Structure 1
């Protein structure tokens, strides 16, 4: 009977902590909704890059936080870097793009 009581107390304590933090996610203090939106933006950008033959999608990392997209990795030309940024900027929900892609032939 005691293990059940300890488990119940742990669950209630966990729910109390979750409710008091406002459902923040990870260290960036995002709400669950913002996290899901950002994951959708990242997925959409990566999918569009994979469809574009001028962009090596596997060489470019995409991270999104509160609608701001961070691009990093390597491109073979300035044109590829510019195209990756254009894809990100023209994706629905994107507020800003920070392009840290390095051109390396």
Structure 2
């Protein structure tokens, strides 16, 4: 009886975990890779003192980096994309950064 309960419990756990994976469409390894890529890109943006890119949000899905936020110049937008492309594991960059209009 105990073996049956254990087997049923394991089957249920497997079923539930498989359902969780299906919702994101990513494996656990892809999730770890994406988190690592996101952290690396953010680190590069913050470390780039010349361009002040701290208002850029970064998200990664299956190696594709999505950049969102606002910057003060087209050069900053371009620089953010360049920095993201340099990170190991990045397969593509979608640059949705908006350039703020000058207030003067």
TM-score by length of 1: 0.78
Change (3 A) 1:52 1:10: farther
Match runs of 1:1-105 below 5 Å = 12=10, 14-18=12-16, 21=18, 24=21, 27-104=23-100, 105=102
- Report the secondary structure of 1:58's partner residue: coil
Q: Assess if the C-alpha contact under 8 Å between 2:71 and 2:77 holds in 1.
A: yes
Q: Tell me, which stretches of 5 or more residues in structure 2 are unaligned? A: 1-5
TM-score by length of 2: 0.79
Q: Tell me, which stretches of 5 or more residues in structure 1 are unaligned? A: 1-7
Which residue in 1 is equivalent to 2:3? none
The answer to which structure has the higher strand fraction is: 1
Aligned residues: 96
Output the CA distance in 2 between the equivalents of 1:10 and 1:87.
49
- Report the secondary structure of 1:24's partner residue: helix
Runs of 4+ in 1 over 2 A off after TM superposition: 8-14, 54-58
